[in-house]
């Protein structure tokens, strides 16, 4: 498979302002490698759930993996710890819920470049391509851009990363096992458990 080099990722603006968006924001739809056929399968909140008020609530919502190619279906629910739900941990090349390899992965600048979905790819492209980056007033504790690895922030790799993001954007439109990227497998880079909990008052 040879993804088209100039498709999908729009030209980035000269200026980028970080509004503190967390990585959890992009877990509303995660594209993964199907455990049965190896094609593309989306992981989404279980149908009928109310819209979350905060992005972090997405990490606690029951999930469904459903492959249109082979019909495989799987369900996920957050574990309980006392009276609270234990949230999924986003980050790394596996999805936070079923721990399946992400569909959107490619080798880039000696690393693995990954994303959850098309919106995630576009957000990364806007940041990487910007010549001037500004940070908003929100705390960087959970902000996605503040926590990105150094190799993605340096201008030295800008052109290569943008090309890699175009590859991911093209992969997002492909679905069959034959379309799977050679990089789309487990890399042992899942985040450490932080024990985030969700109580009636909200996520903590």
Alpha-carbon distances, residue 167 vs 3, 69, 164 (angstroms): 6, 22, 5
Q: For position 84, what pLDDT does the model report?
A: 86
pLDDT band with cut points at 50, 70 and 90 for residue 12: low
Which of 8-17, 89-98, 119-128, 181-190 shows the lowest per-residue confidence on average (mean pLDDT)? 8-17
What is the three-class DSSP state of 71?
coil
- Mean pLDDT confidence for 169-189: 94
* Region of 150 on the Ramachandran plot (φ > 0 left; ψ -120 to 50 alpha; else beta): alpha
- Mean pLDDT confidence for 2-16: 55
> For all residues of the chain together, what is the average pLDDT?
87
Q: For position 167, what pLDDT does the model report?
A: 98
Q: For position 34, what pLDDT does the model report?
A: 98
- 56 pLDDT higher than 50: yes
- 138 pLDDT higher than 90: no
What are the beta bridge partners of residue 203?
A: 198
Q: For position 178, what pLDDT does the model report?
A: 97
- Per the model's pLDDT, the better-predicted residue between 194 and 146 turns out to be 146
Q: For position 82, what pLDDT does the model report?
A: 84
For the whole model, what pTM was predicted?
A: 0.85
């Amino acid at each position: 498979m040879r993804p088209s080099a100039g498709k999908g990722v729009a030209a980035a603006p000269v200026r980028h302002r970080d509004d503190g968006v967390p990585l959890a924001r992009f877990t509303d739809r995660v594209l993964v490698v199907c455990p049965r056929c190896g094609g593309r399968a989306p992981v989404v909140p279980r149908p009928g759930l109310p819209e979350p008020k905060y992005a972090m609530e997405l990490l606690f919502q029951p999930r469904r993996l459903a492959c249109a190619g082979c019909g495989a279906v799987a369900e996920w629910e957050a574990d309980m710890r006392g009276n609270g739900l234990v949230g999924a941990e986003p980050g790394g090349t596996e999805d936070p819920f079923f721990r399946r390899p992400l569909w959107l992965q490619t080798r880039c600048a000696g690393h693995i470049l990954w994303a959850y979905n098309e919106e995630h790819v576009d957000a990364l492209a806007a940041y990487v391509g910007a010549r001037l980056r500004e940070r908003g007033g929100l705390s960087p504790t959970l902000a996605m851009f503040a926590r990105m690895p150094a190799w993605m922030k340096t201008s030295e790799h800008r052109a290569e990363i943008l090309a890699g993001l175009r590859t991911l954007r093209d992969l997002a439109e492909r679905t069959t096992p034959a379309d799977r990227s050679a990089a789309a497998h487990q890399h042992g880079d899942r985040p450490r458990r932080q024990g985030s909990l969700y109580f009636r008052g909200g996520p903590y």
